[in-house]
Chain A
């Protein structure tokens, strides 16, 4: 048992497909489920999950790719930091190609900016210690999974008295936008495949008001193909039986009350704030800002820069894709003006992006 191969078992998955087919017949209508997390989106395309589902079950992708929901103005500010002297911008790899209003980190690097890809925020702290004469600005994006690690990097910098490490924070939280999207009659979401790793931090309780208050079935689902099929089966069963509960398919990792320790670290450093989601707009209380106590690590406050006025590409429909209103194939730019080599919108850039997944696997 290695916790991977047994969840990629062909017969198990085929059996689940059969069961979903029988259950879906009983529903007598088309059901629309949203997978919130970009890793689910990628896995669904990568394993050809849609080809295993009956026509009555429709999967749409949600706003759970952190790179995709990062607004233009954030990239523009990161670009402005790239252009400062004696400055290293450290970032996760998939931010490199995301287009801002007129540039990207990749384009800045090609023109001489010092942009480094790191695999962990602690690597960025180490980079700051190795380059005491420079400022290191880490691009802190991501949901509740990533935010505690970035909070941890700030605590590590404090402990090691690293004065040249800063975070440009744009962390976001998932449950509030899920409530907003489920209230949208146009999308008519019948249930959520809730993110796996985010749920490991926030726990199942975080979805209770969505399920019990708003009547939307929620199933916390792992990332392997058998997990996803079982998550879909559980959602279909809830719809057929008229229930709306929070269920946990991914119990081998996710506990009902989540990871308290990680949340404590997060809460020591961050406070809730309003956040702008690319393509969706401002959502009150859906972001995380660095609190007063750690303001000296907050790039925005410690090192203010002027970025260009943000501009969106007029034809870009990333916002509609992130809200599940259209699929990539409905966007006129998809695979024509917008490709992974030359992306117009962020959904085409990240390996977790819906359009990137559709371009790579779906055509």
Chain B
């Protein structure tokens, strides 16, 4: 029997399942050699309101420049908790493996999950593994759920923007989407773009030192910055005006987007946040973000207005005005 492949029996619940869990999954994810055999993790009480979230990860390909589905699965859920102002504590994970998936690749992904969890200061405390027949899944799907605690009384949500607020982003946009696209399509022209996948909870903790000046936090993942800003404008029933010349876009991402006919405003990010903050605190917030390793290229990209309710407008680099709408469907590379 080949030892280097995942077989249907590894998800059967029987001896092979136990072997995979004991030898690989549990020690890698939790650092404990013996799997706990109980049906649920028991957590210590925490003092504060809880935030709870879940997400699914189906990225193709599972490995790409700057990361893998493993760190994405941890960072994505950590970031969703952080965007509510919560301090992430515990994660659960579900692994759905396609029969025939490489055991080495699984080990690499689990190691990436563990490293990301350690970096974010969260523990993966429970999980489940299933194997489906070949062709019924694309190599590996991961779900993670996360619990975090709110250590403060602030309410940070998408409807919290106020007229005059400034919109801050913590760095260049579109890196993750272009890195994955390049890996998926084998584009030689963009070999040096890497994913920005990163846990944002430490940066958020820094931001929360500004207290109630922080009104909205959102991570612009799928759909990109454009879609997230539009969501905030709709939820807050206000307008948002941004300036294209303030949007940080790396040269490489700008070039690939220009060639393929994509708009970086709609390309996914995995280590970026949009912060909507009170105008009087904007300079201080910007400085805090810029002093953080994940925010060196941060910028104020626009402001909230009481005009144009529910709309996002952009002053283009050449001074023209246009609307910014949500991503419709998927961005498709163009013919010419």
Which residues of A line the B interface, CB within 8 A?
A: 4, 8-10, 13-14, 17, 39, 42, 45-52, 66-67, 92-97, 117, 119, 141-143, 145-146, 197, 225-226, 229, 339-341, 350-352, 359-363
Contacts and interface: CB of A to CB of B under 8 A. Distances in A.
Given A47-B322, A340-B329, A363-B323, A93 B316 contact: no
B316 A95 contact: no
Contacts of A145: 336
A49 B321 CA distance: 8
B32 interface: no
Contact of A8 (B263, B318, B333): B318
B336 A197 contact: yes
B177 to A, nearest CB: 14
Contact of B335 (A17, A95, A97, A361): A95
Interface residues of B, number: 27
Interface string B28-44: 00000000000000000
A46 B263 contact: yes
A9 B332 CA distance: 28
Contact of B320 (A9, A49, A97): A49
B299 to A, nearest CB: 17
Contact of A47 (B317, B331, B332): B317
B318 A13 contact: yes
A8 B328 contact: no
Given A8-B317, A46-B322, A52-B319, A142 B336 contact: yes
Contact of A351 (B314, B321, B332): B332
Of A46, A66, A341, most buried by chain B (CB within 10 Å of CB) is A46
List the 5 shortest-distance A-B pairs measured between CB atoms, nearest first: A48-B320, A340-B328, A93-B332, A13-B318, A92-B335
A97 to B, nearest CB: 7
B335 A360 contact: no
A360 B336 contact: no
A196 B318 CA distance: 20
A52 B318 CA distance: 9
Nearest to B333: A93
B322 A142 contact: no
Contacts, number: 109
B267 to A, nearest CB: 13
Contacts of A46: 263, 316, 322
Contact of A341 (B245, B323, B329): B329
7 contacts: A14-B319, A47-B317, A93-B333, A93-B334, A117-B185, A141-B335, A142-B336
B325 A360 contact: yes
A352 B320 contact: no
B185 A225 contact: no
Given A48-B322, A119-B187, A146-B335, A359 B317 contact: no
Contacts of A340: 328-329
A340 B335 CA distance: 17
B46 interface: no
B318 A341 contact: no
Interface in B223-269: 245, 258, 260-261, 263
A10 to B, nearest CB: 5
A360 B320 contact: no
A51 B325 contact: no
Contacts of A39: 261, 336
Contacts of A17: 319
Contacts of B314: 48
Interface in B294-322: 314-322
A47 B320 contact: yes
Contacts of B315: 48
A351 B260 CA distance: 10
Given A47-B320, A52-B320, A92-B335, A359 B258 contact: no
A13 to B, nearest CB: 4
Contacts of B316: 46-48, 225
A335 B332 CA distance: 19
Given A13-B319, A66-B335, A97-B332, 5 more contacts: A14-B318, A45-B322, A47-B322, A94-B261, A361-B324
